Amino acid sequence: MALQLARGAVTAHGTIGPMSDESSPRPAYDSAFLRACRREPVPHTPVWFMRQAGRALPEYRKLREGTAMLDSCMRPDMVTEITLQPVRRLGVDAAIFFSDIVVPLKAIGVDLDIVPGVGPVVAEPFRTARDLDRLPVLTPEHVPYITEAVRALVGELGATPLIGFAGAPFTLASYLVEGGPSRNHARTKALMYGEPELWSQLLDRLADITLAFLRVQIDAGASAVQLFDSWVGALPAQDYRAFVQPHSARVLAGVGDVPRIHFGVGTGELLHDMGAAGADVVGVDWRVPLDEAVRRIGPGKALQGNLDPTLVFAPDDVVRRKVHEVLVAGKAAEGHVFNLGHGVLPETDPDVLARIVDLVHAGV
C-alpha cells in the first residue's frame, strides 16, 4: 500500500506536462486516451465504456453480493477491485472510478439511498429555500474513502489512465427535486422556470459540491474527469444557456488541469453549448453521427462516442459494420475517444464488449 500511495502522489495532476518533476515520468501521460483528449496523434483510437464497471460483469455481481451499492462505494478495497475488473477483462484504454453521482450528496449528509432496480431515491425532496441548508460545502474530510481508493487505483493502473467523474448540477438537482429517477423532470423544470432565484442558488451549491468532489479525485491522481449531465437533454438550448451552462462552466473551469469530458443523453441540440461550457471532449449519444456532431460543436474539441448501447445484441457482422461507421465518422473530429452513446446495459455480454475493443484497436 505504501508503494501505491507514493505512486499516487507522483501522478497527481498527471497531465499538465509529460514529467511531474525532473526525474519521475507520469505513466499515463502518453496513453492513447489522454493523447486523444488533447487532440494529439494516437497509435490507435482509444476506447472505454460508460458503466463498464458494473452489472454486465459476473465478477462484479459476485463481489457485490450482500453489499449495498452505496456501502460498496465507501469501501476502497471494493472500489479498487470493481474499477479494475473491466480493465483486466476488456482491455479498455481507461478506467472509470467506481462510484455514483449521488455519493458526494450522501457524504455531506443528504438522506438518500440507491434502490436496486430503481436508482437514487432521496428521502425528503428539495423544494424550498430552507432545503439549501441541507447542502453544506463538501470537503476532502467528507470523502476520505475516495482519496484512498483513487490513490490505490492510480498505483495499480500504472500507464492506464483513471477517469474521475461527477454529476453536473442540473442532473443532481433533478434527483434532489424529483426525489428519484424521473421521466420528464417536471418538478425540476417547474422550480427552474417558476423560481429562478432559488434555482440559481441550488445549482450554485451543487456546483460547489461537484467541483470539490472532482478536485478530490484529481488531487489523488485521476488524470481526466467526466462531468455527467445525463438528463439535461430535457431542456432547449436557450434555457440550457440561461439556467444551467454558467454553473457547469464554473465546475469545468475549476478542473482545467486535466482533460474534461462533458456528456449528456439526448443532447443533440445542446452539443455546441456543452462544448462551450468548457469541455475538452464532448460526449455524444448515439442519435447524432460524430461527423454531424463536429459541425454542431465547432473546432477545438475532441469527441467521445457513440455506438448505440443496444447494438451489442445485434449479430456480429452488424456490430462490426456499426463500429466501422463510428470510427469513420469519428475521423472528422480533431480527437476521438470511442465509447457507447450511453452506459453499458446490464444484459450485455462482456465478450461482445471485448470484441468491440479489439475492432476499435484494429481500426476496422
Q: From the candidates 38, 55, 187, 320, which is the catalytic residue?
A: 55
Please report whether residue 181 would count as binding ligand 1CP according to CB under 6 A. Answer: yes
Residue 343: count of CB within 10 angstroms of its CB: 18
- Rounded-to-integer distance, Cα 26 and Cα 223, Å: 10
Task: Determine which residue in the list 27, 120, 164, 259 makes contact with ligand 1CP, applying CB under 6 A.
Answer: 120
Tell me how far apart the alpha carbons of residues 127 and 138 are, in angstroms, rounded to a whole number.
Answer: 21
**Position 154 contacts ligand 1CP (CB under 6 A):** no
Contact by Cβ (8 Å): 95, 84:
yes
Does residue 88 carry a catalytic annotation? no
Residues 23-52 that bind ligand 1CP (CB under 6 A): 50-52
Phi-psi region of 59 (alpha: psi -120 to 50; beta: other; left: phi over 0): alpha
Q: Give 10 or 191: the residue with its C-beta nearer to ligand 1CP.
A: 191
Which one of 7, 26, 35, 64 is the catalytic residue? 64
Nearest to 283 by CA among 302, 311, 256, 257: 302
The DSSP 8-state label assigned to residue 68 in this structure reads -
Q: With binding defined as CB under 6 A, does residue 53 bind ligand 1CP?
A: yes
Of 27, 275, 343, 350, the one binding ligand 1CP (CB under 6 A) is: 343
Question: Which stretch, 93-101, 251-259, 316-324, 351-359, contacts ligand 1CP (CB under 6 A)?
Answer: 93-101
Residue 64 annotated in active site: yes
User: What's the closest the beta carbon of residue 194 comes to ligand 1CP, in angstroms?
Assistant: 23
State the minimum distance, in angstroms, from the CB of residue 21 to ligand 1CP. 31
304 bridge partner residues:
283, 337
In the complex, minimum distance from the CB of residue 307 to ligand 1CP, in angstroms, rounded to a whole number: 15
Residue 100 falls in the annotated catalytic set: yes
Q: Give the Cα separation of 257 and 14 in Å (integer).
A: 9
- Tell how strand 281-283 and strand 260-263 pair up: parallel
- Closest-by-Cβ residue to ligand 1CP is 119
> Cell for 287?
442519435
Query: Which of 172/303 has CB closer to ligand 1CP?
Result: 172
Question: Of residues 38, 100, 291, 320, which has the active-site annotation?
Answer: 100
Residue whose C-alpha cell is 462516442? 305
Region of 316 (left: φ > 0; alpha: ψ -120 to 50; beta: rest) is alpha
* Least distance from ligand 1CP to the Cβ atom of residue 100, Å: 4
CB neighbourhood size of 78 (10 A): 18
Name which of 182 and 200 has its Cβ closer to ligand 1CP: 182
What residue ranges bind ligand 1CP (CB under 6 A)?
A: 50-55, 64, 69, 96, 98, 100-101, 114, 116, 119-120, 165, 171, 181, 228, 230, 343
